[in-house]
Structure 1
């Protein structure tokens, strides 16, 4: 077993680390999957919120990027990203005025699932030279946003046809409920249903006269386990590039986890208890309690024999493991694989890109906090 003591003793803690070699393997693996299936890869950058990693994906062959919020899109555009899809619904004229400013500079699309959004676009974009392109979100089982019934999809499609400043470009979905699948086979089955539902929605809209160019799906665990349905043109995984405990659990392999939180041992108060300096403000307090992405505890010690954090306070993490306690000393540094990397990245101003015990560079998390 590798030592669970981190070689990055030169970095103060807590700190966000990204292993370059592992990250590049993850990225190239997903690019190969997209190329084999003849679909575009549009990574969802809400995972890392770093324009530098977004540009890396584009340089390696990604078509564009997906984001969750206008704030992210604004920062990405400022840093040279010219093809952005906001895979989310937007409401409020304040936001649409910001979107209009972006629309004048780059190629940008957004998700919609109701007439309210269409009405606001039509009002704000009235004096633009080109209409705003949108994708209708299809609800495929996650029980979140998106159009559910074909009748509602037909009505929304008809409504868009009546507008001047909105053009329907495609459909998208997110099979996030696959995270709760009981096993890999169930994950694949749920994903197939979700993909077919999304493709069928595109076909329905085409019969109405819409030119549907984009059929976009996305979920890291389903794409790692299964294939891509015929008729899909684009995939939008996000977590795949860095991975985390949830995704590692889904494939029973934590060696693909590129991101860790470096933490110092600050106390060993009992024969079993160890306290680290990375708590909820460094790792979040999330965990998943069911399905293939179940996490157990609040983080996994890298290279350990399944040593998990038992709990997190604001500034402390606590674990109980006699063997770990006997092998570690106060002042030693360990790396914790976060349960969920997306909110973890948002806690940091920068990440350290590392490999083979060396620090390569610091990468600013420029979209940190850009949730408006």
Structure 2
């Protein structure tokens, strides 16, 4: 395997490290835009994967100024770094509604929107805005449940009627429809497309009817990385993948037709050789996402003689089969299986150019709060 990951000045850094490769990030952004035939206007990348202002600056360099996010902190980071159209792909409930209003007031040059999936919450959002004297309509998208059963108004029900009732709520501005179908992750892209198509046909038909009824500027924001290939071919849609920016081993296996480059690496150090055929590294589950079984947390493609067998807070025990000899102090490069939550475990990313760590980027929106 090509040793693109090697870092010449690694001896100047402690581990575990979260490392990103700037040239590969740029290549992934360019590839994503290419899948949309260069139509940046249809691209609304999710920032949950990276949570970094510097990556948003890279987006802006490619003309990308609208994004999707999940938290108030991510939305604030976007506004702080030049994004002008920020969709919070989350329904604000309780005190989070007040935080949203503070965000809207604090960044008047940025257009914020959020999701709703029931009229009661929509009315609560409008009521808070009115009580605070916000003086502007709150932009909302209807979140649709297309089978993931996590959030959303059921797509099979009367979406048009719901939207018409939503549009009657004073103080809200209906922007369009949103779907996320993370339950569709078959390796065959044709199967993924076939599973996504029935719900999308219904979404498009409902959108057509709503446009006839006066929603002339209606937008449809759809999917993540798993259905990006399919939705990129539907010109009416804004696509919102997130993982593409760093890519990871999970999607590398699940979505073989996408050729995004791994752009994030975990670096760890051998700290002990506790028994024959075993070694231990400092990559505990505080340093790599561990929601999956142990064999699906981190892979070591440059050390295929190693396999994880034990994991705890600060330690990862690896079984070693083969002639290669390891010693305490050796550095080992791994690829996270799920990069998004792995990234969020680190305060900063070390940035590599030309095989050297040149700088660091703060993973600022890993915090629950920046200022709002």
Scaled by the length of structure 1, the TM-score of the pair is 0.88
What's 2:112 paired with? Answer: 108
Q: How does 1:147-296 map to 2 (within 5 A)?
A: 147-179=153-185, 181-223=186-228, 225-226=229-230, 228-230=232-234, 232-252=236-256, 256-287=261-292, 296=295
| Partner SS for 1:169 | strand
Deviation at 1:286, TM superposition (A): 2.2
The counterpart of 1:132, out of the listed 109, 125, 138, is: 138
Deviation at 1:201, TM superposition (A): 3.3
Confirm or deny: 8 A CA contact 2:56 2:81 kept in the other structure: no
Residue 332 of structure 1 pairs with residue 333 of structure 2: no
Deviation at 1:271, TM superposition (A): 2.9
Distance 1:317 1:349 in 2: 21
Deviation at 1:150, TM superposition (A): 4.6
Residue 90 of structure 1 pairs with residue 119 of structure 2: no
Q: Compared with structure 1, are the counterparts of its residues 5 and 66 closer, same or farther at alpha carbon in structure 2 (3 Å cutoff)?
A: closer
Q: Compared with structure 1, are the counterparts of its residues 96 and 275 closer, same or farther at alpha carbon in structure 2 (3 Å cutoff)?
A: same
Confirm or deny: 8 A CA contact 2:155 2:199 kept in the other structure: no
Task: Tell me which moved more, 202-211 or 327-336.
Answer: 202-211
| Partner SS for 1:352 | strand
Deviation at 1:135, TM superposition (A): 0.8
- Number of positions where the alignment pairs a residue of Structure 1 with one of Structure 2: 362
Confirm or deny: 8 A CA contact 1:202 1:212 kept in the other structure: no
Q: Compared with structure 1, are the counterparts of its residues 263 and 32 closer, same or farther at alpha carbon in structure 2 (3 Å cutoff)?
A: same
Deviation at 1:205, TM superposition (A): 2.7
Distance 2:203 2:331 in 1: 46
Scaled by the length of structure 2, the TM-score of the pair is 0.88
Deviation at 1:78, TM superposition (A): 3.2
Deviation at 1:189, TM superposition (A): 2.2
| Partner SS for 1:9 | helix
Distance 2:179 2:343 in 1: 24
Q: Deviations over 1:66-96 (max 9, x none)?
A: 110112212332344332110111111x222
Q: Compared with structure 1, are the counterparts of its residues 114 and 358 closer, same or farther at alpha carbon in structure 2 (3 Å cutoff)?
A: same
Deviation at 1:38, TM superposition (A): 7.2
Distance 1:343 1:101 in 2: 27
| Partner SS for 1:363 | strand
Distance 2:368 2:349 in 1: 17
Distance 2:304 2:81 in 1: 41
Distance 1:36 1:79 in 2: 23
Q: Deviations over 1:312-332 (max 9, x none)?
A: 2110112213128x3432111
Residue 315 of structure 1 pairs with residue 317 of structure 2: no
Confirm or deny: 8 A CA contact 2:67 2:87 kept in the other structure: yes
Structure 2 residue ranges without an equivalent (≥5): none
Residue 27 of structure 1 pairs with residue 29 of structure 2: yes
Structure 1 residue ranges without an equivalent (≥5): 289-294
Task: Tell me which moved more, 201-210 or 116-125.
Answer: 201-210
Q: What's the Cα RMSD here? A: 2.6
| Partner SS for 2:314 | coil
Distance 1:55 1:306 in 2: 39
Q: Compared with structure 1, are the counterparts of its residues 71 and 169 closer, same or farther at alpha carbon in structure 2 (3 Å cutoff)?
A: same
Q: Compared with structure 1, are the counterparts of its residues 155 and 254 closer, same or farther at alpha carbon in structure 2 (3 Å cutoff)?
A: closer
Confirm or deny: 8 A CA contact 2:247 2:260 kept in the other structure: no
Deviation at 1:182, TM superposition (A): 4.9
Task: Tell me which moved more, 348-357 or 184-193.
Answer: 184-193
What's 1:365 paired with? Answer: 363
Distance 1:357 1:156 in 2: 54
| Partner SS for 2:183 | helix
